[in-house]
Amino acid sequence: MNHAVAPQAMNSLVIRSNNRISTLMLTALGLGGILLVALGSVLIGDRGITMDFSARMLAPSWQHWFGTDQFGHDMLARTLHGLSLSLNVGLITAALSTAIAVVLAMLAATGGRWADAVVSFLIDTTLGLPHLMLLILIAFALGGGTTAVIIAVTLTHWPRLTRILRAEILQVRSAEYVQASRQFGKSWWYIGRHHLLPHLLPQTLVGFTLLFPHAILHEAALTFLGFGLEPGKPAIGTLLADSMRYLMAGNWWLGLFPGLGLLLLVLSFDAIGNGIRKLTDPRLSEV
């Protein structure tokens, strides 16, 4: 990592630290945060679910780091449960959405002019509606609940990745080795599987990781508005919506911590996504 030879670094007046190491550390930190949530929610068991009326509305203390709510639930435990719920929903939706994006991008880039027009019309229509509005409409159509949220978030998060992947495929498609393969009489299906997919894998992986935060945030927003996960579940959106009733009385911790947890979870995924991107793309790791 000798920056002195990099022409771009000549312009910069500050000496940068080793970027790869710091990227790696940030990525590890993000991974650690996610593991903490996943493990934490398993370890605490049903803490935060059972009520304890002797400990209602306590401000944060050493015993209850995040305070307690009107039923005496420990908010730290509840936040962890909520985050792990977000994690599950995020995992399912990001995976499904990525799959849709890959299939549509392949179709658009190799299926000819008409397939491309149809896919880009689908993208236009989906992006033409405000994202949250479409989420509300789909959740409304399905009557709310966990399945509705998963379907709504899945059906609305593929367009951006599809665009990126389509552009990527178009670029590879005109590469000489693909042209050569075509001249040898290979079908587009064969080329898609053997030349395009391997090339798309890193992009897809990054896209998947960066889809996560969006999916999680939108799930929380839908739940907060009352279209999402069932009110009984300790989802972050539910916790924050419930907190609204008690904020005026000065119970600030009910609003602060669940949202902070969500923010940290989202940042963890961002760190991992950007980390993979920087570590796999040598052009980016320098800047």
Partner 1 sequence: MTSSLRYTLTRLLRLVLVLAAVAVVAFSLAKLSPIDPVDAYLGPDVARVGPEQRALIAEKWGLNQPPIEQFSHWARNLLSGDLGFSMTYNAPVAEVLASRVLASLPLMGLAWLLSGLLGFVLGILAGAYSGSLLDRVIRVYSFVLASTPTFWLAILLLVMFSVSLQWTPVCCAAPPGMLADEVSLWQRLHHLLLPLATLTLLGVAQIALHTRAKMVEIMQSDYALYARAQGASRLDIALRHGARNAALPALTVLFASIGELFGGSVLAEQVFAYPGLGRATVEAGIRGDIPLLLAITLFMTLLVSSGNMIADLLYRLVDPRMRQAETLEWSQP
CA distance 104 to 116: 9
CB closer to partner 1 out of 28 and 129: 129
- Which stretch, 32-40, 122-130, 197-205, 276-284, contacts partner 1 (CB under 8 A)? 122-130
Q: Which residue in 255, 279, 280, 285 binds partner 1 (CB under 8 A)?
A: 255
* Tokens describing residue 33: 């945060």
* Residue type present at position 44: I
Nearest-Å Rg of the Cα atoms of the chain is: 23
Asked whether position 17 contacts partner 1 by CB under 8 A, the answer is no
In angstroms, the first-to-last Cα distance of the chain is 11
Residue from 202, 259, 279, 286 in contact with partner 1 (CB under 8 A): 259
* By CB under 8 A, residue 185 contacts partner 1: no
Nearest distance from residue 9's CB to partner 1, in Å? 10
- Per rule CB under 8 A, is residue 142 in the interface with partner 1? yes
Q: Please, what is the Cα angle at 233 between 230 and 239, to 5 degrees?
A: 100
Tell me how far apart the alpha carbons of residues 116 and 109 are, in angstroms, rounded to a whole number: 6
Report the C-alpha gap between 265 and 171 in whole angstroms.
Answer: 34
Residues of the shown chain interacting with partner 1 in the complex, contacts defined by CB under 8 A: 8, 11-14, 16, 113, 121, 124-125, 127-133, 136-143, 170, 173-174, 179, 182, 213, 217, 220-221, 224-227, 240, 243-244, 247-248, 250, 252, 255-256, 258-260, 262-263, 266-267, 270
